[in-house]
Amino acid sequence: MENREHIQPNLEERLRPELWALLQIMARLTQERGWQLYLVGGVVRDLLLATNRGRLSSPDLDLVVDGADRGNDDKSGVELATALHELYPTAQLKIHGKFQTAALEWDKDPILGSLSIDIATARTESYAYPAANPDVISSSIQADLYRRDFTVNALTIRLTQPQAGELFDFFGGLVDLRSKQLRVLHPDSFIDDPTRIYRGMRFAVRLGFTIESQTQLYIRSAVASGIYERTLATYPKVPALQTRLKAELKYILQTDYWLPILERLDELDALKCLHPNLKLDSQLRQRLQSIDNLIQSTNLPRLSPWLIRLEILLTNLTLVDRITTIEQLQLPPESLTRLSELDRSHQTLITALSVEISTGQIVRLLQPYDPILLLSIAIIAESKISSIVQQYLTTWIHIKPPIDGRDLKSLGYKPGKQYQQILANVLIATLDGIITDRDSAIEFVKELRGEG
């Protein structure tokens, strides 16, 4: 199925000149050694998809070296990376010998900026493309690409002669790209690597693609085959799968379009890869819909929106299921604490806030809680409790007393623990309108000491 269109995407025009020059150098180094060099992965896809003729915004590059049947010990990719490193000694060279891959990374380089280039050796060992065309130009690159996830991600541009600059489409990626479809390369792809289900939904939403119908069936059957149970069985030795799944989930939850991706995952039952009881019902959808506005309006420092979104996603699970999922995904201990305490703290606040209390008293009540836990409570609580907690998080939490420790010192207080207590009382009186400015705060403190 290799393409016969002889498409020559104009890399020279589409890449930054410095990147193009770098690729030319790599092609020369590869050619001198009698090997072939291919540009692969997302950059090829994005290059073909881009509707404008401008340059691609700083892509990281994935390259594959085809060392022409040098066998299983082929380290062409590592050798090429090492040769390139000699020309660019300021880059950091990372070699992953086991996988015959290397990476060169530039950090704020004056010419290249921040750039990462992955160089792999074409791998042929485990799959043979079932309908391999006998007159393919290089079987190694074809087999390497066949191990990948989707046809649109298995397009490649050869950078060495002959046919340098030409697009190779072994698996119909170009047709899929034009009809905006994500099609998996082989039936076992999602069983081999379930994170591809998550990647697929991310691409589908980002690129506005549909999932081809057979591919949908493969996803459903991979999920139904019990991916979750299998990873659970290997617990407590945390499986690599969960680590990759967490990385992909984090990537998704950091995008602007995270919620549509979760919705697509749910449609294919794929949230079950996180926990078999995880389902986006209308309540959970509502919770997720309100989280971003709340995060924005609270303006709290040091929040990780992706982690908060994930914690909210887990709120519909039972306590036991939440804990299992958090441990599986190796989330930070604070997440475990928050999601373990959520229901209890929610109940406590329902009771405490069911009677009328002053703003100052509310702040005294809420101050000891982790603000992120309160954010979750604001999301799950009914409207009265929710609006009180939201007011605390957006406004009251930021209010400071009009005097500080220096004022207490000049009033003759010896520095110590009592400062905190006095200032807490000053703050409450401020919130309740008893203190209105610095002078009334000083009066208040004097009165506390019996001088008033």
* Coil, strand or helix at 367: coil
Report which residue's Cβ sits closest to ligand CTP: 42
| C-beta separation of 47 from 54 below 8 A | no
Query: What is the nearest approach in angstroms of ligand CTP to the Cβ of residue 399?
Result: 43
By C-beta, is 103 or 441 nearer to ligand CTP? 103
Query: What is the nearest approach in angstroms of ligand CTP to the Cβ of residue 202?
Result: 7
Give the total of residues touching ligand CTP (CB under 6 A).
10
Q: Which one among 23, 36, 37, 62 touches ligand CTP, defined by CB under 6 A?
A: 62
| C-beta separation of 154 from 42 below 8 A | no
The pairing of strands 101-109 and 167-168 is unpaired
> Per rule CB under 6 A, is residue 144 in the interface with ligand CTP?
no
What φ, ψ does residue 138 adopt, rounded to 5°?
Answer: -145, 115
Q: Decide: residue 7, CB within 10 A, 0-12 exposed, 13-18 middle, 19+ buried.
A: middle
By C-beta, is 193 or 443 nearer to ligand CTP? 193
> Per rule CB under 6 A, is residue 151 in the interface with ligand CTP?
no
SS (H, E, C) 356-398: CCCHHHHHHHHCCCCHHHHHHHHHHCCHHHHHHHHHHHHCHHH
By C-beta, is 63 or 408 nearer to ligand CTP? 63
> Per rule CB under 6 A, is residue 77 in the interface with ligand CTP?
no
> Per rule CB under 6 A, is residue 42 in the interface with ligand CTP?
yes
> Per rule CB under 6 A, is residue 275 in the interface with ligand CTP?
no
CA dist 75 to 138, 266, 367, Å? 17, 41, 59
Q: Of the listed pieces 147-155, 273-281, 344-352, 426-434, which binds ligand CTP according to CB under 6 A?
A: 147-155
Tell which residue, 258, 268, 240, has the closest CA to residue 310.
258
The pairing of strands 113-121 and 156-158 is unpaired
Site for ligand CTP in 157-216 (CB under 6 A): 193, 195-196, 199
Distance between CA 171 and CA 145 in Å, rounded?
A: 9
By C-beta, is 148 or 346 nearer to ligand CTP? 148
By C-beta, is 228 or 369 nearer to ligand CTP? 228
Strand order in the sheet with 101-109: 92-96, 101-109, 113-121, 61-66, 36-40, 156-158, 167-168
By C-beta, is 42 or 371 nearer to ligand CTP? 42
> Per rule CB under 6 A, is residue 264 in the interface with ligand CTP?
no
Query: What is the nearest approach in angstroms of ligand CTP to the Cβ of residue 62?
Result: 5
What is the DSSP code (8-state) at residue 58? Answer: S
Joined together, the tokens standing for residue 114 give 């921040």
Q: Which one among 66, 74, 144, 149 touches ligand CTP, defined by CB under 6 A?
A: 149
Distance between CA 185 and CA 173 in Å, rounded?
A: 10
Query: What is the nearest approach in angstroms of ligand CTP to the Cβ of residue 165?
Result: 20
Query: What is the nearest approach in angstroms of ligand CTP to the Cβ of residue 96?
Result: 14
> Per rule CB under 6 A, is residue 153 in the interface with ligand CTP?
yes
Q: In this structure, what is the dihedral angle of CA atoms 150, 210, 309, 339, given to the nearest 10 degrees?
A: -80
Using CB under 6 A, list all residues that contact ligand CTP.
41-42, 62, 148-149, 153, 193, 195-196, 199
